[in-house]
Amino acid sequence: MSVLEVANLTVRYGAVEAVRNLSLTVGPGEAITLIGPNGAGKSSTLKGIVGLVGCSGSVHYQGQPLSQRTPEALAAKGLVMVPEKRELFVSMTVEDNLLLGAFTRYQRREKSIAQDLEWVYNLFPRLRERRWQLAGTMSGGEQQMLAIGRALMGRPKLLLLDEPSLGLAPLIVQEIFRILAELKAQGVPILLVEQNARMALKLADRGYVLEAGELVMEGRGQELLHDPRVIESYLGIRAQSQT
Ligand SMILES: Nc1ncnc2c1ncn2[C@@H]1O[C@H](COP(=O)(O)OP(=O)(O)OP(=O)(O)O)[C@@H](O)[C@H]1O
Ligand SMILES: [Mg+2]
């Protein structure tokens, strides 16, 4: 059974059809990437899945139609998104932001929250160092780590990420991808939207290429990484020597 099964998803903004008849799946333990140029409809796809924008088509999660798509209902089911804009609570500390990520679990009186805080601090030692710092004063890369850490505090059974590497320096990007690889190794299913196609495809089991709202290619991450069309459009001239 798929963790996520999206069929014929269409997202419209007035006259603009941002996503057209898109179908994709995420299997148990799979890391899936959705790549494509600016304006292709990647964020709209994620927003459609989590109900942030209206859409048609069907979305099944763990075999059930995702009918109620409020953030709380999704969090309770373990479906957590790290949005493109990080949406942190800037005037709260790093640790309070992390704890808020576990809010619905706290309401359910789950006992393992302290343990998970340790888990996240072990994944991101920088966040442990800065646990009392205000989130708004963290650097861009640190804020992205915090956004991912906060999502992890929800103990995701499916993690959706919208361009976690956006605007970050290469070393921080590597750090973010190291964490994603570790989550994948721990069996957390991931749907990753990225413009950094090379790193995303290296991480992913499978990938989908979206152009102007439509899927134009799909395949194993390694296959796409060596596909001439993908190399030409998304990986650039240096691709062959680097991959
Ligand atoms: N709220 C909105 N109202 C109107 N049009 C929108 C809205 N949000 C997105 N669009 C349009 O839908 C199309 C897809 O946008 P989307 O943000 O999904 O692209 P993307 O693939 O995530 O791009 P990027 O890589 O730049 O983040 C674009 O043409 C965009 O202008
Ligand atoms: Mg986007």
Which atom of ligand 1 sits closest to the CA of residue 42?
Answer: 21
Q: Is 71 buried (19+), middle (13-18) or exposed (0-12) by CB count in 10 A?
A: middle
- Answer for the pair 190, 183: CB distance below 8 angstroms, yes or no: yes
Asked whether residue 180 is assigned to any structural domain, the reply reads no
Asked whether residue 179 is assigned to any structural domain, the reply reads no
The token pair that represents 79 in the structure block: 């479906």
* CA of residue 235 relative to chain centroid, distance: 21
153-164, pLDDT tens digit by residue?
989 999 999 999
What does the DSSP assignment read for 71-107?
HHHHHHTTEEEE-SS----TTSBHHHHHHHTTHHHHH
pLDDT given for residue 64 in this prediction:
93
| Closest ligand to Cα 49 | 1
pLDDT given for residue 243 in this prediction:
45
pLDDT given for residue 237 in this prediction:
59
Name residue 164's amino acid. Answer: P
The token pair that represents 88 in the structure block: 């942190």
Asked whether residue 111 is assigned to any structural domain, the reply reads yes
CA distance 168 to 147: 14
Same domain, 163 and 141: no
pLDDT given for residue 239 in this prediction:
43
Asked whether residue 184 is assigned to any structural domain, the reply reads no
Asked whether residue 227 is assigned to any structural domain, the reply reads yes
Burial 97-129 (b: 16+ CB within 10 A, else e): bbbebbebbeeeeeeebeebbebbbebbebbbe
208-232, pLDDT tens digit by residue?
999 999 999 999 999 999 999 999 8
- Residues paired with 58 in a beta bridge: 7
pLDDT given for residue 72 in this prediction:
83
Same domain, 63 and 84: no
Task: Label residue 240 by pLDDT band (50, 70, 90).
Answer: very low
Same domain, 39 and 146: no
- Give me the number of domains the chain comprises: 2
Same domain, 100 and 22: no
Verify whether ligand 1 is closer than 6 Å to residue 18 (CB atom): yes
Q: What percent of the chain has pLDDT over 90?
A: 78
Residue 117 domain boundaries: 79-155
Give the distance (Å) from ligand 1 centre to CA of residue 211: 12
pLDDT given for residue 152 in this prediction:
93
55-108, pLDDT tens digit by residue?
999 999 999 999 888 888 898 899 999 987 778 999 999 999 999 988 877 777
Give the distance (Å) from ligand 1 centre to CA of residue 125: 34
- Answer for the pair 163, 193: CB distance below 8 angstroms, yes or no: yes
- Answer for the pair 55, 10: CB distance below 8 angstroms, yes or no: yes
The token pair that represents 124 in the structure block: 């991101």
Same domain, 61 and 113: no
CA distance 199 to 197: 6
Same domain, 54 and 93: no
Give the distance (Å) from ligand 2 centre to CA of residue 84: 7
Check whether 128 has a pLDDT greater than 80. Answer: yes
Same domain, 200 and 86: no
* Predicted model pTM: 0.93
| 147 phi, psi to nearest 5 deg | -60, -40
Verify whether ligand 1 is closer than 6 Å to residue 85 (CB atom): no
CA distance 18 to 154: 30
Asked whether residue 3 is assigned to any structural domain, the reply reads yes
pLDDT given for residue 241 in this prediction:
44
Task: Label residue 238 by pLDDT band (50, 70, 90).
Answer: low
CA distance 195 to 33: 10
Same domain, 8 and 39: yes
Give the distance (Å) from ligand 2 centre to CA of residue 45: 9
Asked whether residue 139 is assigned to any structural domain, the reply reads yes
Same domain, 123 and 164: no
Same domain, 87 and 143: yes
Asked whether residue 178 is assigned to any structural domain, the reply reads no
Q: What percent of the chain has pLDDT over 70?
A: 97
Task: Pick the most confident of 82-86, 114-118, 167-171.
Answer: 114-118
CATH number of the domain to which 239 belongs: 3.40.50.300
